[in-house]
Structure 1
Amino acid sequence: MTATSLRPDAGRNASPYLYGAEAEAVAQVLAGGQYGHTEVTESFERQVAGFLGVPEAVAVTSGTAALHTALVAAGVGAGHEVIVPSLTFCASVQAVLAVGAEPRFVEVDPLSLCLDHQIVLDALTPATRAVMPVLFGGRAVDLTPARALLDERGIAVVEDAAHAFGSQGAGGRVGTTGDLTCFSFGPIKNLTCGQGGLVIPRTPREAEEIRRFRLLGVVQSQADRATLTGYQVDGYGLRYQMSAINAAIGLAQLPRFRTTAQARRALWCVYRDALADIDAVTLVEVDADRSVPHLCQVRVPGRDEVFHALRAKGIGVGVHYPPNHLQPAFARWHRPLPVTEQLGREILSLPFHQHLDEHDVDQVATALRQALAAGGRS
């Protein structure tokens, strides 16, 4: 297999998928002359809320902004700890630090790469104010057995569902189970706004707090705009409002999401079948009937050699993610996490996006076999 065996799009680890209506939707916003937070953004919020079956949804500029804002709404701040898996994108941790709290890094289940309730219960301390389950690869996380104790102690569950828009869990669709749930709509997510995020609040009070925070702490009404004062600042906040341009992309994507979900589930199943006879790798399982897969990952002992061999053939494999407790910026909160450290040495993300077809998957599987054979494995 040569470096040109895969088409350029197919060789990427991830790639946005657009249906064509997105450009027209953006053009309409540009023609209207108002590009910031407008009725287009509010329409996107209403339609997402309707799709998920929740009362309210609040759009922001990114998934990281969603996590930050949700932690603020949950009352997390200085002197508090947030339980967060080390195996996640660094945005999860940066959001904790942004509110002045401290991350308490924990292990994950090596089969799902997610938290389970026992990991959470074992990690609780008097300083715990929130738990941040990361819905890795699109997998829902069920913390039901821990919820009574968490509720009793006033511990918020802030779901990092950046990978999991549209996925289902035991209690229903992600975002409907009573948690503060945070989505990301970045370029390669299952639903994209080009860039953006969204928070599903639990209560009207949280929704109000999130809206105030995303507008620099400003309380503003139509009547305020006609006065000399113009607005009132009630507290700290940041400029986290989603633009109409980004919302327009999301509005164009949303009606086609079921097609997106079906395509990603089908692609994951093609990978599952193509990799079934490779004994040296372990596929990280996804419930393809209920989840909308965001990644296709395998565990490979001696991963680094295989990574470089596949990259040399033009195959865009990746690593999601280097453990955060080993990152220099987070060294202060380091604690031994042997399961996560082992996963960090073995996890390999294969190209996974809607530009791939069965031939591309076969090419990736063949290259993986060749790389393993060259290293004395099969």
Structure 2
Amino acid sequence: MINSSRPDARRNASPYLYGQEAAAVAQVLESGQYGHTGVTEEFERGIAAFLGVDDAVAVSSGTAALHIALLVAGIGPGDEVIVPSQTFCATVQAIVACGASPRFVEVSPDTLCVESGTVLEAITPATRAVMPVLYGGRAVDLTAAEEVLGERGITVVEDAAHAFGSSLGTQLVGSTGALTCFSFGPIKNLTCIEGGAIVPRTSQEAGVARRLRTLGITQSQAERGRTTTYAVAGFGLRATLSSVHAAVGSVQLEQFPIVAAKRKALWRAYEAELHSMRDVVLVDVDVDRSVPFNCVVRVPERDRVHKVLHAQGLGVGVHYPPNHTQPAFAPWHRPLPVTEMVGGQIMSLPFHPAMDAGDVHQVVSALGRALATVREEAFAAGKTGR
């Protein structure tokens, strides 16, 4: 079974720390300044420099980034946002939080990402934004839809929670011209423990995003310290990124090439092991241009296979149950047969940088045995007529 000397090797996902994060956090704690400070602003500058863009706005979570980005794009009641159903519910909750309506669409069964043709077919007079989800770290190319989206004033708001460090062609995700949102949650490619960021397209968008994350207040923290009042220009959220979290993020950013290489190597190890396995389809993340977030396979009798592996203590998961079938989003349900099919087949295998090729081999061996067990059970049930 999996190497017990590293107990986290069985987990579906796990944070990856380099060792310097504790010292960086201790330095912030010793300063007595824990909220949004120059440490947060330094992290923002680091993200912008990494991506080769003018600015990045750090916020408290990836969900907050999506919510604020939609508000920056002017999304509100009566508007529709095209979004794949195959995503984490946070993507959809951000749309609903704006008072807008999600228009659920299909994904490619090979990549679990939305495609340009699907987006174009889904546009209605109420469509104001498209929210492609960069599933597993794979960049989404909407170039074929770009002209129509531009003509109709439809904003592309990228949910790049999985895709920090990935590329579209030669451009890093976040530098391609979309309003891009990252998550820096515990198990993401880059973690702040909790956090996120918005990559604005203009300085005006950056200013609006900063006001929205700070309760609508127009003055910066430093400016408020020099005066007796401040102005609240409009609606806002409490969504700043603390300097404690930013300190972790800055260490992670400096060391990012290490984790990127580990994730790529791990995914390629899975690709090699799964290449000839019967009844298993590996969801393609375009590993040459992505920093993979997970390793997802499509298998028959997924629920039964999952049960067998889970009983062995193996950290398999389902990412994610389709949102158009969720009770909270019933008002926007529409038939999505491809999503419903893949939603019943997908299973995430353990995938995190603490694993090695030996762990991958043992996970895939366990998967093979589980599939054989399920086939044997199905055969036995057929013989007995059960």
TM-score (structure 1 length as normaliser): 0.97
CA contact (8 A) 1:212 1:218 kept: yes
Contact 1:6 1:315 in 2 (8 A): no
Q: Distance in 2 between matches of 1:333 and 1:224?
A: 43
CA shift in 2, pair 1:6/1:360, >3 Å: farther
Aligned CA distance change for structure 1 residues 313 and 118 (closer, same or farther; 3 Å)? same
The 10-residue stretch of structure 1 (218-227 or 133-142) with the greater mean CA deviation from structure 2? 218-227
Unaligned runs of 5+ in 2: 377-386
2:137 touches 2:290 (CA, 8 Å); kept in 1? yes
Q: How big is the shift at 1:376?
A: 1.7
Q: How does 1:51-200 map to 2 (within 5 A)?
A: 51-170=50-169, 172-200=171-199
**Residues 4/256 of structure 1: CA separation in 2 closer, same or farther (3 Å cut):** closer
Q: Give the match for residue 298 of structure 1.
A: 297
Matching residue's letter, 1:216: L
The alpha carbon displacement at 1:275 in A equals 1.3
The 8 Å contact of residues 213 and 237 in structure 1, kept in 2 or not, is answered as: yes
1:84 partner SS: strand
- Measured after TM superposition, the shift of residue 220 of structure 1 is 1.3
- The residue that corresponds to 2:366 in the other structure is 367
Q: How does 1:325-364 map to 2 (within 5 A)?
A: 325-364=324-363
Match of 2:382 in 1: none
- Mapped to 1, the partners of 2:53 and 2:332 lie a distance apart of 36
Distance in 2 of aligned mates of 1:59 and 1:220: 17
Q: 2:120 corresponds to which letter in structure 1?
A: L
Whether contact under 8 Å (1:139, 1:291) holds in the other structure is: yes
Q: Distance in 2 between matches of 1:359 and 1:39?
A: 43
For 1:89-111, what per-residue CA distance to the aligned partner results, in whole angstroms no more than 9, with x for missing partners? 00000000111100000000111
The one-letter amino acid paired with 2:227 is: T
Other structure's SS at 1:182 match: strand
The 3 A distance-change label for structure 1 pair 338 and 125 is same
Aligned CA RMSD, in angstroms, stands at 1.4
Deviations along 1:327-349, whole A, 9 cap, x unmatched?
Answer: 01101110000000001100000
Q: Deviations over 1:262-321 (max 9, x none)?
A: 110000001111112211111111221110000101000110111011111111000000
Measured in 2, the distance between the counterparts of 1:255 and 1:223 equals 30
- Mapped contact 2:169–2:289 kept (Cα < 8 A): no
Structure 1 residue 186: Cα displacement: 0.2
Calculate percent identity across the aligned residue pairs. Answer: 63
Query: What runs of 5+ residues in structure 1 fail to find an aligned partner?
Result: none
Query: How far did residue 225 of structure 1 move?
Result: 3.2
SS in 1 for 2:8: coil
Whole-Å separation in 2 of the counterparts to 1:181 and 1:265: 22
Q: Quote the Cα distance in structure 1 between the aligned partners of 2:174 and 2:16.
A: 23
Is 1:266 paired with 2:265? yes
Alpha-carbon distance in structure 2 between the residues aligned to 1:308 and 1:8: 21
Distance (Å, rounded) in 1 between the aligned partners of 2:135 and 2:223: 44
The 3-state SS of whatever aligns with 2:348 is: strand
Aligned to 1:226: 226
Amino acid aligned to 1:243: S
Q: CA deviation at 1:224?
A: 4.4
Runs of 4+ with deviation above 4 angstroms: 3-7, 221-224
Letter paired with 1:100 = G
Paired with 2:150 and 2:287, the residues of 1 have a C-alpha distance of 31
Q: 1:217 matched to which residue of 2?
A: 216
Give me the whole-angstrom Cα distance separating, in 2, the residues matched to 1:10 and 1:231.
Answer: 51
Provide the aligned length of Structure 1 versus Structure 2: 376
Residues 158-206 of structure 1: CA deviation (Å, up to 9, x unaligned): 0000000000112611001111000000000000000000000011111
